[in-house]
Each structure stands twice: as structure tokens, then as C-alpha cells.
Amino acid sequence: MDVFKKILISSIIIIGVYSVFLVFSDISTFYEKLSNFKFEMLPIIISLITFTWLLLFLRWHLLLKNSNINIPLKQNFMIFLSGAAFTFTGELGDFVKSQLLKQKFEIPRSKTAPIIVSEWLYTGIGLVSLSLLGIIYFEISAYLGIFFTAIIIILFIIINSKKLFTKVLTFASKRKFLSNIISDVDESFDIIKNSTRGKIAIFCSVLSILFWTVESIAVYFILYAFDVTTIELVDLISIYSSSILLGVASFIPLGIGVVEGSLSGFFHLFGIDFSLGLAIVVIIRIFTRWYGIVTGLFILKYYNGFKKTFDLI
């Protein structure tokens, strides 16, 4: 099955990238620093990361309700967590949620896929909002924030113009996995437009900003656990958001390699040894991304199994 090939290839690439980072960070240095990790910080770090899931779930729940899609809270939460399972493969990503809603509640993917696109837009808004802090604290972050602000403005123009939206959606639907979930341009246009205006837009934007802020605070505690105190929280927020934006710009799933490399480079600018920075970045990504992916895989297996979910592509 093609999907297994994608998972295998993605896994090999990811293992290769992290292996390179660990080699360059000097494995002996990595284990030495890891042994000095303040494990009493773990409950705080894990609690903060888990809390970010709740913020994103609330955003997802509100967007569904805004489109008159009402799902029992517990089942909806299981579906939401399952959505993280295959984000490392690129194409599958969050659309797993659409597939599960179709299987469990017979809700057409054409109704939920546009909501997921709206989620991406709000995630970008939150990230760009924090990166703009760099206007004061981190110059590179300011440039990235301004650039991506322009992109978000363009996206808002597209989703408010049915003609432009139709052209973009028609082009996007040429991809196999998108053609399976995009069937009604008019419906998709209405759902995305209704998901990105009025009160729902304000609530979702605030939740997105809170998400990135809390995740940055978790990263701050990870640095503290390694006894790194040379970076202030406000600086870290700008640094972290900039690295994520560079990963987004790379169009690589999870920005693998790009986020890690840029973040360790930014750390070096603040006096953190490059090899130590690489090791710390690997740990940061384990907590901020792989913790969620592994949790999603377990829940997906428990909740529905993998086989039917692969019908998405």
C-alpha cells in the first residue's frame, strides 16, 4: 500500500536527520548533558505541552460547532488527538480527522476538510503574531513576521473572493489525496469563509496565540532543565516562532531539519555552544512534536485502527 511506503520513507528520513544532528552535537556531550537534565522539570514541561493540546482542541471544537457539526465531546477529543498521528508524513496530516468523522459519524469529508484548512490559517496567525515581537527583540523574527503577514493577507483575499478561491481549489484538487476530499467548491468556500470571520475568527486567533505562547514557555523550561538561562522568555518566543516559520517555508513535513538547524543556530547567537544547542533542539522537538505524534498513533490504533483510516488516500 502506498501509504506504508510514505510512512517508511518519512521515518527513514526523520531517523537520518536526527542521527546527523546527534552526531554533530557529539554523542558523548549529548549524554553528558542529558544526565544533567533536571528531571523535576518534566511534570511542568509535559503539563504545558498537554495543555496546548486542549487549546487546539477547543479551537477545533468551536470551528465544528460554527459549521453546525456537533460531536460528543469525548469522541471528538479522541478524533482530534488521532489527527496528530501522521503529521510527519506530509499529505495525511490533519486530514485523518476528516476521515474519522466520516467513518464514525458519516460526516462528508468535504464539510470538514475546509475546517482543517481554516485551522492551518489560524495556526499561522498565532505564529506570525508572536514572531512580530521580533520587531523589538529579534530582528530576523521581525522580517519573517512581516513576510508571512503578507502571505496571510493574500490568503484572506483569496478566501473572500470566490473566483480566486475556485482557481486555487481547482489547482489543489489535482493532488490525489485532496481530490478525495474536495468535491464541492461552493460548499468549501462557504465553510472557510464562515470559519474566518466574526467572533469565531477572534476566538480562534486568540487560542492560536495562546497555543504558541504556552509551547514557547514549555521550551523555556526545557532550556532551564539543561541549566541554560542565557535567553529571556520574550527573546525565546521570537527565536522559536522564527524557527517554526522557517520550517513552514521549507514545505517539509514538520519542517524536519530546518526547524532544528535554524533553532540551534539562533541559540548559538545567544551564546549556547553549537553542539549543546543541537542536542537541546532534539529534546525540544521530542516534547513539542513527537510526544503528540506518538500519543496520536496510540489513540488512533485504540480508537479505530489504521486500515480504514488509510482510505483517505
Quick: pLDDT tens for 285-313: 999 998 998 898 888 887 765 555 555 54
Amino acid identity at 147: F
Count of domains forming the chain: 1
pLDDT confidence of residue 83:
86
What is the C-alpha separation between 151 and 145, in angstroms, rounded? 10
**Interval 260-291: pLDDT, tens:** 888 988 898 888 887 788 888 888 999 999 89
- What is residue 183's predicted lDDT score, i.e. its pLDDT? 56
Which one, of 198, 127, 114, 199, lies nearest residue 158 by Cα? 114
Q: Which has the higher per-residue pLDDT, 202 or 19?
A: 202
Neighbour count for residue 240 (Cβ, 10 Å): 26
Percentage of the chain surpassing pLDDT 90? Answer: 27
Asked if 295 contacts 81 with a C-beta cutoff of 8 angstroms, the reply is: yes
Please, are residues 122 and 59 in contact by the beta-carbon 8 Å criterion?
Answer: yes
Span 184-197, average pLDDT: 80
pTM of the model: 0.87
Span 65-92, average pLDDT: 85
Burial classification of residue 297, based on how many CB atoms lie within 10 Å of its CB (0-12 exposed, 13-18 middle, 19 or more buried): middle
Amino acid letter at 17? V
The pLDDT score that the predictor gives to residue 11 is 60
Band of residue 1 on the pLDDT scale cut at 50, 70, 90: very low
**Sole residue written with cell 493574500:** 154
Question: Minimal CA–CA distance to 231: which of 212, 217, 245, 213?
Answer: 217
Quick: pLDDT tens for 90-129: 656 678 888 889 888 989 888 898 899 899 999 999 999 8
In a domain, 41, yes or no: no
Q: Across residues 233-242, what is the average pLDDT?
A: 89
- In a domain? residue 140: yes
Residues, the chain, total? 313
State phi, psi for 71 to the nearest 5 degrees. -120, 140
Establish if 188 belongs to a structural domain. yes
The domain in which residue 7 lies consists of 2-36+50-87+94-312
In a domain, 44, yes or no: no
Q: Are 42 and 283 in contact (CB under 8 A)?
A: no
Residue 42 lies in a domain: no
294 closest CA partner among 2, 87, 101, 18 = 87
Distances (CA, A) of 8 to 114, 141, 200, 300: 28, 34, 38, 18
Q: Are 273 and 295 spatial neighbours (Cβ–Cβ below 8 Å)?
A: no
Q: Report the distance separating Cα 62 and Cα 275, nearest Å.
A: 43
pLDDT digits (tens, 9 = 90+) for 125-150: 999 988 887 776 667 777 787 888 88
- Contacts of residue 277, defined as CB under 8 A and 6 or more positions apart, other chains included, come to 25, 263, 264, 265, 267, 268
**% of residues, the chain, pLDDT over 70:** 78
Neighbouring C-beta atoms of residue 196, cutoff 10 Å? 22
